[in-house]
Amino acid sequence: MSFYTRDRGSHAGRNRPVRVASRPGRRAAPPGPRPPLPPRPASARGQRQARRPSRRARRIRLIAIIVLAGIVTGGFVDGFGQETSAEGTVQAFLQAWQSHDYSAAASYTTGRAPAVSSALAGAFTQLDATAMFLSMGDVDQRGDTAEAHFSASVNLGEGGHQWTYSGQFALRRTGSGWKVQWAPSVINPELGPGERLAVMTEVPARGMILDATGQPLQVPSVVYQVGVWPRALANPAATAQDFAQVTQLNPDQVRGQIQAASPGQFLTLVSLDRDDYAQLAPELARVPGLQVHRVSQRLFSSEASEVVGTVGSENSPLLRDEGASYQPGTTVGLTGLQSAYQRVLAGSPTTKVVAENSTGAQTAVLQQWAGISGQPVQTTISSGVQAAALSALNAAPGVAAEIVAVQPSTGKILAVAGQSAPGGQVPDGGALNAHLTPGTAFTIVSTAALLGSGFSPGTEIPCTSVANVGGQLFSDQRLASSLGTDTSFSTDFAQGCGTAFAGLSRRLTSSALNSTVTGFGIGSKWQLPLAAFSGSVPSATSDGQLAAETIGEGVQVSPLGMALIAAEVDSGVWHSPVLVTNPPDGGASSTIPLNASALTSLRTLMREAVTSGSAKSADVAGAPVYGQTALIPTGSGRSAQWQSWFVGYRGDVAFTILTSNESPQISASALAAQFLSALPG
């Protein structure tokens, strides 16, 4: 640690010369000519002339006398006679103070050594400082008193701020030399008797994530604020050590925050949700001096958790992994929009260096660094549609499911909800980013490609038990036995006959299917702030592969991507998805690659699937519902499950419902009926 001072011999380094009062001495001779000396006897004069040195010798002797006199006089004022100059004491005091040798620093003052040493040490810890640099300025000296000026630069450590201020203190000459006249103002000019320094950090409230109307998506939930009253702690270091061991925080940083806090105010050290508190409560109860306040805050819980995400507090492993310093009141987004917009939502703290009296009341603000308030993030989530999705899931507590809804006219995401269940798990990535096989739900796209090539939906296409395309076999024993071979394409679509579509693939080309896939936005680049999958359809290199793709095999989609496909059939325009409107996350649109007649035919087919086909359980009262379904076996043995899809729309709401369970009898169409019935009129 360096000590910055100025060399007395350097003209460039001095602000102002030390002023020392004139030394008392002999009284000067009165002005006027000196009277002549009486004449000496000739014999005496002759003798002196004989002994008189030359003029050069006299001049050398005179110069030597003057130089010697200057050295002696300077020594008494500023050299080896340092007792007459205050600068040595000032320099020694500042250097000892900066070097944390508080006992030595106290010895240069008029105060009681233990009290001065404690005050100097306390000032450093009260600021939670990591370094302090002192620089000596002018020393104005008059007789037996002096005033010294200095500048201080204090690194406030974990806050990252550098506090610089100017100070001054008085000195007086005592029998043992110059001494600093001790008072709290020696540390800082704003400190009065009985006052101390403190650092106040005000962490702003975390910004809310809002729905489309500006209402918070977070809901009030129980928050356990675990903290201390610093003044009441018998041993702050022991409390910090024990608390840090329980919470995996840095004990030195915890102790520094306690020491820098206002003694008379409750300091929240960590905020915990219900589950985390239940886990840590037994160990926290053994930490001396801790208190727990149970409050309600919009922090940990949300109505749209898959979108909003989760929040961690001061003891979050994410903060430790990022090397962030411990700061009470800190929150960090762990997932979802909470993570994507961490800087916007969290803002930055306001830090103040203050003076406090013995009661903890602030008497002065010495320095302030203004923070930034946490800002809200507004989404496109509709509270009514989100509530309908949650209502549908609550009505099926034993069903693992995902629901995502979009607005066909804009591409805005209206709802995202999901739940796990003992018999099934929602897919990795959830409704936005899962990579799934859509099965016959993809026939919405392959039918659009067929209609675009001039195919008529009234054509008779048998639903056979087996279809051989390019040497690859496709089978559908269940439907073939129930429908027979005398069926129309509309029936094949409504019932999801895979063999019929496999055979119809001969009327398509890979380029024709790829063009339709692109027109539905599959594989496009979305501008969402969260990870989301727009889908993937490889370019078919064989007839068998093309046949498989017409029934969704070898295709990867997300529930969101399928909802946007249904939305495009509804509106006739493709819109990229939009989730956040402030700050905006972009969006694009284009016209669907179908003429009006083909689009009408596709809508009719999707309506028949609901009124008389595999999606019949979704045919609820009210405005007409359009859709398509799929049932896909996944896994094998004990891990075998069934994924059931419903992809459709009603009015200006398009949606995908996906269930994943051990039984094929649990239908996504039935859950769609619950969702549609709960939608606001």
Between residues 199 and 119, the one the model is more confident about: 119
Between residues 11 and 673, the one the model is more confident about: 673
* Cβ atoms 480, 464 nearer than 8 A: yes
pLDDT at 586: 63
- Report d(CA 501, CA 550) in Å as an integer: 6
Q: What is the pLDDT of residues 125-184, one digit of tens each?
A: 889 899 999 999 999 999 999 999 999 999 997 667 999 999 999 999 999 999 999 999
The H-or-E segment that residue 405 falls in is strand 401-406
Token pair recorded at residue 663? 């039984």
Q: What is the DSSP string of 431-487?
A: HHH--B--GGGGHHHHHHHHHHTT--TTSB----SEEEETTEEEE-HHHHHHH-S--
Token pair recorded at residue 662? 């051990």
**Of 528, 608, 521, nearest in space to 566 by CA:** 521
pTM: 0.81
**Neighbouring C-beta atoms of residue 472, cutoff 10 Å:** 16
pLDDT at 270: 97
What secondary structure, in 3-state letters, does 221-234 show?
Answer: EEEEEEEECHHHCC
Q: Report which residue type is found at 646.
A: F
Write the CB contacts of 333 (distance below 8 Å, at least 6 apart in sequence). 309, 310, 311, 312, 339, 340, 341, 342, 345, 346
* Cβ atoms 501, 441 nearer than 8 A: no
> Which residues is 369 bridged to in the sheet?
351
- Could you please state the CATH topology (level 3) that the domain comprising 84-189 is classified under: Nuclear Transport Factor 2; Chain: A, (3.10.450)
pLDDT band at 29 (very low <50, low <70, confident <90, very high): very low
Q: Where are the domains of the chain?
A: 84-189, 209-377, 383-678
Sign of the C-alpha dihedral, residues 20, 3, 159, 289?
negative
Q: What is the DSSP string of 273-308?
A: -HHHHHHHHHHHTTSTT-EEEEEEEEEEEETTHHHH
* Cβ atoms 655, 404 nearer than 8 A: yes
Give the side-chain half-sphere CA count within 13 A for 386.
25
* pLDDT above 70 as % of the chain: 86
Does the pLDDT of residue 595 top 70, yes or no? yes
**What region, left, alpha or beta, does residue 493 occupy, with left being phi > 0 and alpha being psi -120 to 50 degrees?**
alpha
Q: What is the pLDDT of residues 410-452, one digit of tens each?
A: 999 999 999 998 877 788 999 999 999 999 999 999 999 999 9
Q: Report which residue type is found at 80.
A: F
Q: What is the pLDDT of residues 296-327, one digit of tens each?
A: 999 999 999 999 999 999 999 999 888 888 99
Q: What is the pLDDT of residues 243-259, one digit of tens each?
A: 999 999 999 999 989 98
Q: What is the pLDDT of residues 363-405, one digit of tens each?
A: 999 999 999 999 999 999 999 999 999 999 999 988 999 999 9
**Strand arrangement, sheet containing 401-406:** 413-419, 401-406, 653-661, 641-650, 626-634
What are the b/e assignments for 604-633, b being 16+ CB within 10 Å?
Answer: ebbbbbbeebbbbbbbbeeeebbbbbbbbe
Under DSSP, is residue 376 helix (H, G, I), strand (E, B) or coil? coil
- Report d(CA 610, CA 625) in Å as an integer: 7
**Of 448, 451, 413, 453, nearest in space to 433 by CA:** 413
* Cβ atoms 445, 516 nearer than 8 A: yes
Write the CB contacts of 357 (distance below 8 Å, at least 6 apart in sequence). 192, 194, 195, 363
Kindly indicate whether the domain formed by 209-377 is annotated with CATH number 3.30.420: no
- Report d(CA 556, CA 538) in Å as an integer: 9
Q: What is the DSSP string of 218-274?
A: EEEEEEEEEEE-GGG-S-HHHHHHHHHHHHT--HHHHHHHHHHS-TTS-EEEEEE-H
Q: Report which residue type is found at 636.
A: S
Q: What is the pLDDT of residues 553-564, one digit of tens each?
A: 999 999 999 999
- Per-state percent for the chain, helix, strand, coil, to nearest 5: 35, 25, 40
Task: Just give the CATH number of 383-678.
Answer: 3.40.710.10
- Report d(CA 671, CA 668) in Å as an integer: 5
pLDDT at 10: 34
**63-72, 451-460, 617-626: the lowest-pLDDT one:** 63-72
| Residue 617 DSSP class | G
Residue 658: what are its φ and ψ, rounded to 5°? -125, 125
